[in-house]
Amino acid sequence: MSNHENTPLSSAHHEEEDTPAVSSPKAGFLPIETNWFDRLFISVVIWVALSLLWFRFMEPIGLSIWISNAIALALAVLIISKG
């Protein structure tokens, strides 16, 4: 038994258990398994896309970019907490 526990595979298993929370996947409303860094990345991607689209279509009709930033921030909070 003790022999088994000292094998490299068993120690690798313990190392995996000790890894920080960034790599622990979570099942939220997103269609893929994500950790918090994935969700932060998705939020940044959406923020940039939304800002560019806002510059192109919404700002010319008088809507400030800060509205887009507020929407992106709300989406980011939602995605990071529930995604």
Partner 1 sequence: MQSNRLGWILLAPTLVILFFFGVLPFIYVVYVSFHQWNPFAADPTMIFNGADNFRKIVFDTEFLNSVGVTVLFVLFAVISELVVGYILAQAFMKEFPGKAIFRTIHTLPLIMAPIIVGSVWKLMMTPSIGIIPHYLNEWFGITVNIGMSPVAAFTTIIVMDIWHWTPLVTLTLIAALVSLPPDPFKQAQIDGANKRQIFFHITVPMIAPAVVATVFIRLMDALRTVDEVWMLTGGGPGSATRFVGVHIFKEVFPKTNYGYGSTISVIVLYLTIVACWLLYVTMLAPRNKKE
The least CB distance from residue 32 to partner 1, in Å, is 4
Chain positions 21 to 50 lying near partner 1, rule: CB under 8 A, are 25, 27-28, 30-33, 41, 45, 48-49
- Who's near 45: CB < 8 A, 6+ residues apart? none
- Who's near 50: CB < 8 A, 6+ residues apart? 68, 71, 72, 75
List 23, 37, 52, 82, residue binding partner 1 (CB under 8 A): 52
The least CB distance from residue 42 to partner 1, in Å, is 9
Euclidean distance between CA atoms 12 and 24, whole angstroms: 16
Q: Does 15 bind partner 1 (CB under 8 A)?
A: yes
